[in-house]
Amino acid sequence: MTEYDLWKIFPRMPKKVTIGDITVRDGFQHEEKFISTAAKIFYLEELIFAGCRNIEVTNLGNPYLMPQFRDAEDLLTHVRSDRFKKQCASRGINYDDICFTCITIREASVDRAIRLKEKGIGPDRLLMMVSTEEQHHFANSGTTLPDYWKEAERCIKKCNDAGMKMCGTVSTIWGSPIGGATELKDAVEFSKRWLEIGAHDIEHADHDGSASAAQVYRYYSMALDEMPNTDLHIAHFHETKRMASASILATLQAGITNFECTLGGLGGQPANFLDDCPTKGTGDYYYRDPRYVGLVCLEDTLVQIDEMGIEHGYDVDRILQLGKFMEKTIGRRLRSEAVINGRTLKDGHMEYARPGLSRLKEKFGEMSGQKLPKEWGAAAVLPEKYRAK
């Protein structure tokens, strides 16, 4: 007989996961209008109050390239303030359980993070990034892979000496929007290289939605075979082909426990236009239609995982409300289906029930809850030709 228990079929699949939010950084970096500092603070706070404990605050790179993050220090000052700490305490949140991350692609940004740490407003964790396909890596970093690896090694030492953790991202695992097909084994090797030079954890990134479920399962199984500690691995998916929910399921089946999402599926390549002014960003966009760019959606992922019975630590209804707010902040319909259609409620939607059913059943002499004619047998008798052999 078929085994019906998914956890017996996929024994590595977790019963509990951690879902980090990267809306305020990765989500907003793609927007061609400046998101106000007040709005960024609102979403940082509300995501934490709704259950998020791993959150990206900002990008510490040069604001000339990405002016969306010219308020980086204001955001860090807020989340390090006594006022915010008291807000957390009043809601029963242990402030020390929150990990604040900033993106620091190059060494100058790492040095900036260290200065902020010395001022008492620095992040807990930084992030640097390599791509297995060098053209994509060059577009993001402006240098070669060998040169960047040496820079990353220096930065990790600086970062650790300053009391901060470093996450090493590996991108273009399943393909590059510039160079095309890539090899999974290269990404496994790059992940091991990050750990070799002292990184704390690894973000495995599908930055353009290239991944398919079968290849996702294969890759994460390869990674866990080599590096079995699940705390080391974070899954980061973009949604360009409506395939990310299948990738999430395949990642769970492989045994990964840590994920990243954005509200509304926001995000993508850094904007090269902000408000009324062109800006540098990372150059020309490598996508055809901005409606099909972004990350896997927090609202929909939470509903998917919640309905699988997997523990996640979020107030799902509060997140769905935040998703509705985000559509007003951004000024357009975003990509969450759950924000529109809600969760699958166990009690149903009895406001849609048609009147008269109980009277009709009474007229027919049927009991409440009776689903079959009373003269039928207790169980169906399947014709011989349809029975399992």
Domain ranges in the chain?
13-341, 350-386
- Return the CATH fold of 13-341: TIM Barrel (3.20.20)
SS3 100: strand
What's the alpha-carbon Rg for the chain, to the nearest Å? 24
pTM (predicted TM-score):
0.92
- 277-278 and 273-274 strand pairing: antiparallel
Q: State the pLDDT confidence band at 116, using cuts at 50, 70 and 90.
A: very high
Quick check: 286 pLDDT over 80? no
Lowest model confidence (mean pLDDT) among 150-159, 170-179, 189-198, 313-322? 170-179
d(CA 192, CA 281): 30
Q: For the segment 314-350, what is each residue's pLDDT rounded down to a tens digit?
A: 999 999 999 999 999 999 999 999 999 888 877 778 8
Element (H, E) at 165: strand 165-171
Asked if residues 27 and 295 have their Cβ atoms less than 8 Å apart, the reply is yes
Instruction: Round the average pLDDT of the chain to a whole number and report it.
Output: 94
Q: State the pLDDT confidence band at 41, using cuts at 50, 70 and 90.
A: very high
Quick check: 280 pLDDT over 90? no
pLDDT the model gives residue 210: 84
pLDDT the model gives residue 78: 98
Q: For the segment 205-237, what is each residue's pLDDT rounded down to a tens digit?
A: 998 888 899 999 999 999 999 999 999 999 999
- Letter for the amino acid at 53? R
Give the Cα-Cα-Cα angle 290, 295, 300 (nearest 5 degrees). 115
pLDDT the model gives residue 207: 82
Q: Would you give the DSSP letter of residue 26?
A: I
